[in-house]
Amino acid sequence: MNFDTGNTGFMLVATSLVMLMTPGLAFFYGGLVGRKNVLAIMLQSFVSMGWTSVLWFAVGYSLCFSGDGAVIGNLDQAFLRGINPSSVLAGNNIPLLVFVAYQMMFAIITPALITGAFTNRIRFGAYFVFLTLWLLFVYFPAVHMIWGGGALQQWGVLDFAGGIVVHATAGMAALASVFFVGKRKVSEKGPHNIPLVALGTGLLWFGWYGFNAGSELKVDGVTGLAFLNTDTAASFAAITWLVMAWRFEKKPKLLGLLTGSIAGLATITPAAGYVSVPVAALIGVISGVVCYFAVNLKNRLGWDDALDVWGVHGVGGVLGVLLLGVFATKAVNPSGADGLWFGGTEFFMKQAVAVLGFAAYAFFFSYLALVVIEKFMPVRTTKEEEDRGLDITLHGEEAYI
């Protein structure tokens, strides 16, 4: 088989960029927590790189991309049966193995996003079981339904790079976990290492080009559009959040700018290949404002979403899918759709039903999964473990000697 070497090379680079996002997330979250819990939160990200890859090889890819079920695939390609180096991804002329690897990187980072919500107060064994159940019953069905030929894709729902599949589901799962485990018993002073957060943000922003531009699965005009839209939305959201913090908190804060950029990246993700660059700028501004107020609302309500996963990823993901339903246009991507702004009322309604429905499902399943896990093992850490820090009490390691 003569593969398109240009597209294949690009997708290998994009896959590597998305892989880099999970270590980036570990640094981002690691800097945000206190000194006694750095390794615990980083381990939760890194273990997803290992265990999710195992599940993806065993059943994940097959459940996502084989079969013609409405909700979930089948096990025809379990353990990558029938896939060899000469197998081709239909329509893109790249090795199917490259597509398998690319999608695996998405599966790795999605559940890792959730961990920022319950930092400092969940036991590692319980998280490991939750990670497994969540992939099997939330992430894999979402991928199949939206990207793998399932019911929502057949219905005409669009999600360019994961507004529903990644951010809305992870954000709502995070909120459910916050309600289940409750507040931290031991308060922290705040981020212990903002430069570490900045490093993580840089890695995430850099990797997001592979996340969004790579989702075109080839090199063409839409690839360039998605790339530029990604940077544009992130930049406008970062500056918007900075200005909002300057206005309401009286100081321009680096942490605010960094958080705003992640909000913009999450919000543009579903729309990156379907909207124009000026619209991406508008989406960045809207996400900066809405996610900023979502985080403040969370604080006023007393929800202990430690690292603002719901306010940034959950709200950003839902917002991005809805704005895609408004501003998508076939003028920039003929494979897309026309949104509400261009007369596509039906398309907007489909987007709204899909994202709100899956967000609700992710919330309720995640809460139920934690209830079930609690029947077999303790989910929450003790006050003594929180007081000493999870690094030493759960893992016998310390980040700083």
Query: What's the confidence (pLDDT) of residue 1?
Result: 66
Query: What's the confidence (pLDDT) of residue 207?
Result: 98
Q: How far apart are CA 201 and CA 138, in angstroms?
A: 26
Segments of the chain scoring below 50 in pLDDT: none
Among 133, 306, 92, 34, CA closest to 216? 92
Query: What's the confidence (pLDDT) of residue 188?
Result: 81
CATH code of domain 5-395: 1.10.3430.10
On whether the CB atoms of residues 398 and 39 are closer than 8 A, the answer is yes
Give me the residues paired with residue 88 across strands: 95
Q: How far is CA 13 from CA 17, 53, 93, 200, 367, in A?
A: 6, 18, 16, 19, 37
Cβ partners under 8 Å of residue 306, min gap 6: 32, 33, 116, 117, 118, 119, 120, 184
Q: How far is CA 384 from CA 120, 124, 170, in A?
A: 12, 16, 29
Domain segments of the chain as ranges:
5-395
Per the structure block, which two tokens stand in for 119? 């930092």
Cβ partners under 8 Å of residue 283, min gap 6: 233, 236, 264, 267, 268, 271, 275, 320, 323, 327
Query: What's the confidence (pLDDT) of residue 401?
Result: 82
Q: How far apart are CA 279 and CA 266, in angstroms?
A: 15
On whether the CB atoms of residues 324 and 274 are closer than 8 A, the answer is yes
Query: What's the confidence (pLDDT) of residue 91?
Result: 82
